[in-house]
Structure 1
Amino acid sequence: MDRLFIFDTTLRDGEQVPGCQLNTVEKIQVAKALEMLGVDVIEAGFPVSSPGDFHSVVEISKAVTWPTICALTRAVEKDIEVAADALKYAKKGRIHTGIGTSDYHIRHKFNSNQDEILERAIAATKYAKKYVEDVEFYCEDAGRTDNAYLARVVESVIKAGATVVNIPDTTGYCLPDEYGAKIKYLMEHVDGIHKAIISTHCHNDLGMATANTVQGVLNGARQVEVTINGIGERAGNTSLEEIAMIFKSHKERSIATNINTTKIYGTSRLVSSLMNMPIQPNKAIVGRNAFAHSSGIHQDGVLKNRESYEIIDPKDVGIDESAILLTARSGRAALKHRLCVLGVDLDQDKLDKVYQEFLKLADRKKDINDDDVLMLVGKDRTETHRIKLEHLQVTSGVGVQSVASVCLNLSGVKRFEAAAGNGPVDAGIKAVKKAINNDDMTIQEFLIQAINKGSDDTGKVHMQVAYQGNMYYGFSANTDIIAASVEAFIDAINKFII
C-alpha cells in the first residue's frame, strides 16, 4: 500500500472562516483531537500574522507529541524567522513558505516577472532550510499557473532543499482532469521530483475540491492538505473525512492513510461545536443524513442487507448505531462515555459541572443529542464575559405590543431595563442596548437553527453584529429561542465592549 500523508489545515485555513476563530485553549483541544485521529501534519497557524497566532503555534508545539507541526509564511525572511521561533518547542517542525506563481499573481499582485519570482522562491526555501530540515514550498495559484513554468519552480525549490512541494488550486478553478494532468506533468517533467513529496491543496469554489484532490493523488501526489468538515475560506477546502473514506473504500487503489476513521465523527462534531460552524445535513460522511434512509425501497434494502444502499459502515466513522441514549435518567458514566466518543475529556470537577447543566436540559428535552452535549461543554466560555444576562422576561402575543425586561450583570454591577419592540427578539435586543447605553450597533445576519426536531429542541442562534465598521460574531444555544437570540447578541457585543 502506498502511504498518503494527511496534512490538516483546520487550525490555519479553516480558521480563516469569519466567525470561526478559536482561542489557544480551543486550538490545543482540536490539535489533540487531530493527533488522536492520526493526522500526520498539523498546520497550526501563520505566526507572523498576529501575537495570538504565534502563541498558538508555540503552545500546540508543546501539547502535541508525534505529528509534525507546520507554520505558514510568505517568501519573506522576517516571516520565516518568526515561524522558526514559534516552532522551537515542536518535536518535528516544518516551515511552509511560498509565493504566487500564476500570471495573475506575478503581474498584478507582485508587479514582477517569472525570473524574479523564481529567484525569490529559491531564496525563501534556502533561508527556511537554515532553521528546519523539513521545508514545504507552496506555489500559490498553481491551478492557473502554466505547467512549464510551474515545473521550473518545483524543480528549483527541490534543488534548494524543499522536502514537500504544494500545488494549490487556490481559487478552486481546475477541473479534475486538468488538475490530475498538472500533477502528472510535474511527475514526468521535473528532474529530482522523487526527492520531494508532491502535495495537493484544493479549494471548493466550484464544488470540485475532493475530486481534484483524488485526481492529484492518483497521478502521483502523496500528501493531501485538508480540513475537518471541509471548512475554509470562501466555499471551503477538501474534506479530510471524504479523502480518508474514499481511499479506505477503494482498497483496489492500494493507497492508505494513517487515519483512525472511527474518530472521524467525534472530531467532526468537536470542530463544528468549537467553531460554531453547523454541518449541513447532507454533508458526505458526517452529515446527520449521511446514513439516514427515508425511501421505503431503501429502508427495505438496508434492513435486508446494509450494503444494498450503504458503502460505508457507520461504525467505521465512529457512529455507533447502538449508542447509549441520554435522558434525564442517565448518570455521569453515560454522559462521560458520550463525551469520550465525541473526543472530549473532562476532569471530574468539570464533568460534575456539565452534568448538572445536563440534568437541567434533560428536564426540558426528551432526548439529548450530541450537539446538545457539546453545547453544554462549551457553555462555560461565557463565564469570562464582562456583560452577562442574569434575567430576561418577555411579554408577547397576537394583538399586543412585545415588551422585554432584562437584568444585565456589567462586571458585577446589575442593571435593569425594559423596552418595547417589533416582536419578542427585537424587544429583548432593544432592552440590552438600553442597559449598556449604546445603540450604535446593527444586526447584519441572524440565523436560527434547530439541532434536531421537535418543539422542545435546543435552538442555535448565529448572529453577525456591525459596530464602528467592523463585524463581530455571536453564538448561543437554548431551548428558549428568544433567550438564545438575546444571548447571541450579548456574546457578540462582549467582543467589542470593553
Structure 2
Amino acid sequence: MENKRIVLIDETLREGMQYRGLVFSVEQRLKILDFQEKLKVDICQAGYPPAHESEADIVKTLCHHAGKKEYNIRIAAMGRATIKDAALLLKTGVNDLHFHLHIKNNVSQNRLDQILSDLLKTIEFVKQHRPDAVISIAMLDIGKSNDQILNQGVSFLSDHHIDILSLPDTSGMMAPNQVFEKIHSLCHEAKDTKISIHCHNDMGMAAANSVMGILAGGRCLELSALGIGERNGIGDLYTTAKILQNQDFHINLNTDDMTTFHAYYSYVDAIVYEQTHEHVLNFNSPFFGDAVKTHVAGTHAGGEYGIATEETFFLNILCGRHLVKKYLDLKGIFYNETKLEEITSQIKTQSIALGRRLKNDEVKAIAASLI
C-alpha cells in the first residue's frame, strides 16, 4: 500500500486567496483549518508570509493554534526559493516549507547551474536552522518548461534529497494524457523524492489531470475546497480525492463525513459570495449540487451520487414509462397504473406541442383524465 499512499495538501488558504482577490480573515482561516483537521487533511498550506508581515503573523497564528490543539494536520507556508524568504518562513514556526522556482526556457546552461547552486544554498540554510524541516520545491510550469531543464532540475533536487518536488501545470493547458506522460517520465528522475501534483482548471481538466498525475506516479496532491484558486482554480478537494480512493489509493481524507464536508464547502462559498457576490457552490457543482439527482431519461434515474435529499424528475418528450411512474409516485399523484403507457404518450405529445417540459399540474391533469 505504501506506493499508493497519497499525501494531500489543502491549498484553500493560500491558492484560494488568488481566486478573484479573496482575503480570508484570521478568524476565517482558523475556522477553515478546523474543518481541514476534522476531515483529516494531511497538510494545510496556510499562506504566503513574504507577501506582508500580517500574512506572516497569520501563518504563525495558525501554526500555534494547531500546536495548542494538538492537531495532526501539518502547517505549511510558501515563498520564493531564496534564503530571504526561507528565513521568513522559518520565523512563522512551520515545519513544512514550500518554495516555488521559475526557470525560463531561454536560460543558458551556466545560468541554470547558478540557479540550482543558489537553490542548494537555500536548502542548506533551511536544514541548518531546522534539521527536521520538510522541504517542497515547485518547478513552474511543466506545461511550458523545456524538458531538458525539467529533467536536470528534477535530477538535481532528487540528488539533494528534497522531500517533495511539486510539478504544477500552472497554465492549466495540458490534457490528461500529456500530464500522465510528463509525470511518468519525471518520476524516474525523482527517485525517493515525492512528486506532487498541482493542476489548474483553465481548460476544465484540473480534476482529470490531477488523477492522471497520481496514476503516473505522483505521491502528493494539491487541491482546494470547491477548487478555488488563481483564474479558474485548481483540482477540487472532495471529488478528486474520492475518485482516487475509489481506485484503492490510500488517502486520509474522510470523504464519508458528508456533514462536515458540506459545512466546509458552504462556509467557503459564503466567504466567496460575500466578497464577489457570486457563488461557487451552485446547482451544477459536482456531487454537492442538486443537478446530480435530476433526471429526464429513466435509464439515468439511479440517484447514486450526491447529497441532495431527493431525486427530481423532469418530464418531456424523452421520458419513458419507468420515469413517469417514479414521478407520479414521488409527487403523490393518483393514477391508473394500467394507463401508464397512455399517460406517458400524452405527456410526450403535450411536451412537443408546448415546446417545453411539463409542469406538475399539467402532468396531474393528464393522469386524472385517464382514471
Instruction: Tell me the residue number matched to 1:145.
Output: 145
Segments ≥4 residues shifted beyond 6 Å: none
Q: Which structure 2 residues correspond to residues 17-36 of structure 1 after superposition, within 5 A?
A: 17-36=19-38
* TM-superposed deviation, 1:60: 0.8
Tell me the amino acid that sits aligned with residue 128 of structure 1.
V
Tell me the amino acid that sits aligned with residue 179 of structure 2.
Y
Q: Secondary structure at the match of 1:139?
A: strand
Contact 1:126 1:161 in 2 (8 A): no
Matched, 1:321 2:333: no
Instruction: Tell me the residue number matched to 2:124.
Output: 126
Matched, 1:186 2:192: no
More strand, by proportion: 1
Contact 2:50 2:85 in 1 (8 A): yes
* TM-superposed deviation, 1:287: 2.4
Q: In the aligned structure 2, how far is the partner of 1:80 from the partner of 1:129?
A: 11
Tell me the amino acid that sits aligned with residue 76 of structure 2.
C
Q: In the aligned structure 2, how far is the partner of 1:98 from the partner of 1:128?
A: 15
Tell me the amino acid that sits aligned with residue 136 of structure 1.
S
Matched, 1:42 2:44: yes
Tell me the amino acid that sits aligned with residue 76 of structure 1.
T
Q: Secondary structure at the match of 1:20?
A: coil
Instruction: Tell me the residue number matched to 1:218.
Output: 215
Structure 1: 5+ residue stretches without partners: 323-498
Instruction: Tell me the residue number matched to 1:61.
Output: 63
Q: In the aligned structure 2, how far is the partner of 1:4 from the partner of 1:37?
A: 15
Instruction: Tell me the residue number matched to 1:431.
Output: none
Q: Secondary structure at the match of 2:283?
A: coil
Instruction: Tell me the residue number matched to 1:10.
Output: 12
Instruction: Tell me the residue number matched to 1:255.
Output: 249
Instruction: Tell me the residue number matched to 1:234.
Output: 231
Instruction: Tell me the residue number matched to 2:87.
Output: 81
Tell me the amino acid that sits aligned with residue 75 of structure 1.
A
More helix, by proportion: 2
Q: Which structure 2 residues correspond to residues 458-497 of structure 1 after superposition, within 5 A?
A: none
Tell me the amino acid that sits aligned with residue 194 of structure 2.
I
Q: Which structure 2 residues correspond to residues 148-163 of structure 1 after superposition, within 5 A?
A: 148-163=148-163
Q: Deviations over 1:292-342 (max 9, x none)?
A: 21416257x43xxx4xxx3x3x4xxxx3739xxxxxxxxxxxxxxxxxxxx
* TM-superposed deviation, 1:274: 2.5
Tell me the amino acid that sits aligned with residue 234 of structure 1.
R
* TM-superposed deviation, 1:175: 1.7
Q: How many residues align?
A: 293
* TM-superposed deviation, 1:122: 2.5
Contact 2:49 2:88 in 1 (8 A): yes
Pairing partner for 1:267 from 258, 261, 264 = 264
Instruction: Tell me the residue number matched to 2:355.
Output: none
Tell me the amino acid that sits aligned with residue 249 of structure 2.
I
Matched, 1:199 2:199: no
- Greater RCO, CA 8 A, separation 6+: 2
Tell me the amino acid that sits aligned with residue 144 of structure 2.
R
Q: In the aligned structure 2, how far is the partner of 1:320 from the partner of 1:234?
A: 29
Q: Identity, % of aligned pairs?
A: 26
* TM-superposed deviation, 1:97: 1.3
Q: Secondary structure at the match of 1:7?
A: strand
Query: Normalised by the size of structure 1, how large is the TM-score?
Result: 0.56
Contact 2:224 2:237 in 1 (8 A): yes
Contact 1:102 1:144 in 2 (8 A): no
Q: CA distance change for structure 1 residues 167 and 74 in 2, over 3 Å: closer, same or farther?
A: same
Tell me the amino acid that sits aligned with residue 134 of structure 2.
D
Q: Secondary structure at the match of 1:275?
A: helix
Q: CA distance change for structure 1 residues 134 and 241 in 2, over 3 Å: closer, same or farther?
A: same
Q: In the aligned structure 1, how far is the partner of 2:266 from the partner of 2:299?
A: 27
* TM-superposed deviation, 1:159: 2.6
Tell me the amino acid that sits aligned with residue 169 of structure 1.
D
Q: In the aligned structure 2, how far is the partner of 1:148 from the partner of 1:285?
A: 40
Q: Secondary structure at the match of 1:257?
A: coil
Q: Deviations over 1:202-228 (max 9, x none)?
A: 111111111111111001001110110
